[in-house]
Every structure is written in C-alpha cells, then in structure tokens.
Amino acid sequence: MEQYNNIRKNDVIGMIKNLLSYFEKKNSVDSDAVEEIVRLLIRNDVGPKTSRALVESITDSKYKPIDRLKKNIVELLRSIDRKLSLPNEGVSTVLIVGANGVGKTTTVINLASALSQQGKKILVIDLDPQGNATTGLGLSNTEQSDQTIYGILNGTMAINNVIKNTKFEGLDLITSNVDLSGLEVETAGDNDRAFILKAKLAAYLNDSSASYDYILIDCPPSLSLLTVMALVSSNSLLVPLQTEFFALEGLTQLMKTIERIKVNLNPELEIQGILLTMYDRRNKLSSQVEQEARDYFKDKVYQTVIPRNVRLSEAPSHGVPVLVYD
Ligand code: ADP
Ligand code: MG
C-alpha cells in the first residue's frame, strides 16, 4: 500500500507534465481534450472537488485563450499536489460510496442466495441501520424488537436467540433496524468496542452446533464504528466498485483504512476481490474505470462484472434475491 501511494504521488507530477505537454500541442480544447483529462483524473485518483472544478473549468473555457486555461490547470493541480503531500491524514470518517450506493447490499443478498442454492449454509449479518439487507431478504426492519444485531452488540441478546430463518433454504439472517444507529454514541466509553462483534461471533461459533460455511456482513456506507467492527471481525473482504467517474477516489480511501486496520487491529484481513458493479457496456466510462481498476489492483479485480440491470434493482422491493425474482 505504501508503495502504491508513492506511485500515485509520482503520477501526479507526471500528470501535470502530461497535461501541459498535451496542451502544448493543441490550440483549442475539444472533446478529445476533455476526455483525455477525465482519463488522467481517474487514473490519478484526484479528489472529486478538484476533478469537478478542473473538468468544469475546461469545459467552460472552450473559447478561452489557451494560455489562461493552462494557468488555471496548473493552479488546480498544485492544490492536488499539496493535498497528496499531507503527511498523515489521520483516521476520519470517509464515505466508501456516493449517495446512491455501490451495490454492497445487492451483492450480499445475491451472493448469499447463490451460495445457499449451491448447498452452502450462509449467515447474513445486516450491520447497516438502514436494514436494506433485512428487507431485501424478506424480513422486517421496522418491527419493535431487541432480536436484532443491535441487541447483540449492546449486550442484551445472545446470537443464538437473534438468528432468524429466511424463506430461503440454508440462508439465515441477523436483522437490523434504525436502533443500531445509536450504538456508536452509546458505546463511546468502551475502549474495546471495535472488538464487540468479533468477540460475540467467536463465542457463538465456539459453542454452538450451527455450522455456517460463510458469514456475510453487509456494512453501512460510512467508515464508522460499525464498519470498523466488521473489518475487525472478518478475514476476507469483498469490495464492490461502481463503474462510475469518482469510484476510484472512494476506493483509495477505503484501501487506506483497510491497511490501517490490518496493521493495528486485524492482521488476518485480506482483500478477497474487487467486484465491478453496475457495469454498462454502452458507456465508455465503465470500460475506462474497469481498465483503471485492473491496472491498479491487477488480479484482485474479478473477471466477472455485474451489469447494470433493472431486475437487480427491482428484486429487493419484492423481498427476494434476483435469482428468485428473475
Ligand atoms: P449499497 O448497499 O452499497 O448502498 P445497494 O446494493 O443498495 O448499494 O445499491 C444501490 C442502488 O442501486 C439500489 O437501488 C440497488 O437496487 C441499485 N443497484 C445495485 N446494483 C445494481 C445493478 N447491477 N443494476 C442496477 N441497479 C443496481
Ligand atoms: Mg446497503
């Protein structure tokens, strides 16, 4: 990861040079130029704010004198360079994804369902207060009950008493509801709180007869306590990556967090794979993001990509995975 960050830093300096030499050869800004810049921004994982400003400034300035444009670009890129040179950004809450989601819950639901149809025994833990995996698998996220993941994490419930069967053979679920959003504040005084889920799971797996092949945890979108709990409890990570313009930006932040957790809290943590989601073959950006992701993360990126498909987005409202709905 360290190495990866260094490469990136050098890339930005290279990028500034590339851009300038690119404009050296051009005397007007056309759609090719904008496309080239977008490609560079994606490859260099420039922050969304700067990227947007840069693309806007370029698109707006089709008729501006090229020299002024060059000055704008250099100024903007300087600010990126400063940003990347910050010594240590510290641990802050970073969104893994934009407002619309990258397909975490959709992946959990459909992976769980596919595995259980192959005869595996699966436990899904819904660790998102929004409870989308809960409703997506046909259970309620509104009924008043302590029999949820919140009950487990606040110590009032044992895992045994909270696991619910779904209507799908071999697929069990620990539900979630909005109560879970209080956990972070309620456990503020507990120094070991990042380990609560891990301890509960270990105790359950040690002395219960249940034998799951896989436990899948659906995380909330932010890198909050809940996500840290999940990262501490897992040995394998699957990272959905939406094939959209700013996708790699979020991913880099996530990778940094994963690396920190690995070093400090959970040495067993490994990235199983990166899954490209909502892939649209007709959209050039999808294949660009795919290329960038494969260049960076090599064979960590699954060959299989999940296409953008309306059946996938309709299925949860019927409380079933797409394998059942379609
Ligand atoms: P997250 O859990 O990461 O927030 P979701 O799985 O809830 O993301 O997906 C976000 C939205 O995108 C949902 O409305 C979902 O139905 C939709 N969606 C997810 N994957 C696809 C896909 N491959 N094609 C079309 N829509 C999708
Ligand atoms: Mg979700």
Task: Write out pLDDT tens, residues 127-172.
Answer: 999 999 999 999 999 988 889 999 999 999 999 899 999 999 999 9
Report CA(131)–ligand 2 centroid distance (Å).
8
- Alpha-helical (H) ranges within the chain are 2-25, 31-44, 48-60, 66-85, 104-117, 132-136, 149-153, 183-186, 196-207, 225-233, 247-264, 284-297, 310-314, 322-325
Q: Say if CB 95 and CB 252 are below 8 A apart.
A: no
Residue 130 Cβ inside 6 Å of ligand 1? The answer reads: no
Whole-structure pTM value: 0.71
SS3 41: helix
Angle at 199 between CA 195 and CA 203, to 5 degrees: 175
Q: What is the pLDDT along the chain (326 residues), one digit of tens a residue?
A: 333 333 344 455 555 556 656 655 655 556 666 666 666 665 555 555 566 666 666 655 554 555 555 565 555 555 444 333 222 222 111 122 323 478 889 888 888 888 888 888 889 999 999 999 999 999 999 988 889 999 999 999 999 899 999 999 999 999 999 999 999 999 988 888 998 998 888 888 777 666 788 888 999 887 789 988 988 888 888 888 888 877 777 787 778 888 888 888 888 887 878 888 889 988 888 999 899 889 888 888 888 788 888 877 787 777 777 666 65
CA-CA-CA-CA torsion sign (128, 249, 306, 301): negative
Task: Please tell me the distance from the alpha carbon of residue 66 to that of residue 135, in angstroms, as a whole number.
Answer: 54
Q: For the beta carbon of residue 205, count every other beta carbon within 10 angstroms.
A: 14
Name every residue whose Cβ is closer than 8 Å to that of residue 281 and which is 6 or more positions away in sequence.
287, 307
Cα of 191 vs its chain's centroid, Å: 26
Task: Please tell me the distance from the alpha carbon of residue 113 to that of residue 305, in angstroms, as a whole number.
Answer: 18
One-letter identity of residue 315: A
Average pLDDT, the chain: 75
List, edge to edge, every strand of the sheet that includes 122-126. Answer: 164-165, 171-174, 122-126, 214-218
Report CA(31)–ligand 1 centroid distance (Å).
31
Report CA(71)–ligand 2 centroid distance (Å).
42
Which of ligand 1's atoms lies nearest the C-alpha of 307? 23
